[in-house]
Amino acid sequence: MTVATTSFLIFAASQVGTPGPANMVLLGTGARYGFRAALPFVAGVVLGKQLIIWPVGFGLMQVADQTPMVFAALKYASAAYICWLAWKIANLRLSRDVSVQDVPGFWAGLIVHPLNPKAWAMIIAGFTGFVAAGTPSLNATFTIALCLLLCQIVLHPIWTFAGDRIAHVVEGRPTEKYLMWTLASLTVASVLFVLFGGGTHS
């Protein structure tokens, strides 16, 4: 049994690429301090998600084998949270105001995802929606970890680099509302795909 790698990559890209606590921090950091100065912080954010994936992966796989109903409940609970987050995204407005005076570094970035409920929900949805029953914990966790790492390496720097430009172009203008609603719709679509799109097929 395996992980639906292709399907999960699509889901992961939609989640990592849409606004959330981490991306809003990266957006603001890039806008306030510039791309180069923010790179250590970006590296910390990217690696911080691994601090969640590995413990959750091994724990969830054991829970799935022993109590499948808990596994199913986690699937729908995480999907419900992401749908709620999509509503928050739709009404979110960008801001380039950052109150921190010193450039945040690697260690500040490392704790962003462990404190980010979207990251927890995303990872749980990945294990519950895209991992076939009976998949070894190591295989499942490694695949989920690698897919998310690849998405973060590509998309987190983009948010950081584009922070000042995005804020400057759409902040306070009518197009901002339509941008956020589009991103929110993509988030909801990814959740529906997890629940009804056959997440255990490659």
pTM of the model: 0.69
Residues 137 and 135: their CA atoms lie apart, in Å, by: 6
**Dihedral over alpha carbons 65, 193, 19, 174 (to 10 degrees):** -160
> At residue 9, what is the residue type?
L
Which pLDDT score is estimated for 131? 87
Alpha carbon distance, N-terminus to C-terminus of the chain: 11
Around Cβ 168, how many Cβ atoms within 10 Å?
11
- Cα gap 50→110, rounded to integer Å: 10
Length of the chain: 202
Predicted local distance difference test score (pLDDT) of residue 122: 86
pLDDT of residue 174: 77
Residue boundaries of the structural domains of the chain: 5-193
Please give the pLDDT value at position 156.
Answer: 95
- Return the pLDDT at 92: 62
Residue-level pLDDT at 107: 92
| Other Cβ atoms within 10 Å of 81 Cβ, number | 18
Q: What is the pLDDT of residue 158?
A: 93
Quick check: 130 and 190 in contact, CB under 8 A? no
135, 65 contact by CB (below 8 A): no
**How many other CB atoms are there within 10 angstroms of residue 127's CB atom?**
27
Of 117, 125, 121, 114, nearest in space to 71 by CA: 125
The pLDDT of residue 115 is 77
Q: Distance between CA 34 and CA 13 in Å, rounded? A: 24
Q: Considering only CA atoms, which of 180, 190, 71 is closest in space to residue 128? A: 71
Listed in sequence order, the residues at least 6 apart from 78 whose beta carbon sits closer than 8 Å to its beta carbon are 120, 121, 122, 124, 125, 128
pLDDT score of 167 = 61
Q: Residue 199: what pLDDT?
A: 44
Residue 113: the pLDDT is 87
Question: Which stretches of the chain score pLDDT less than 50?
Answer: 98-100, 198-202
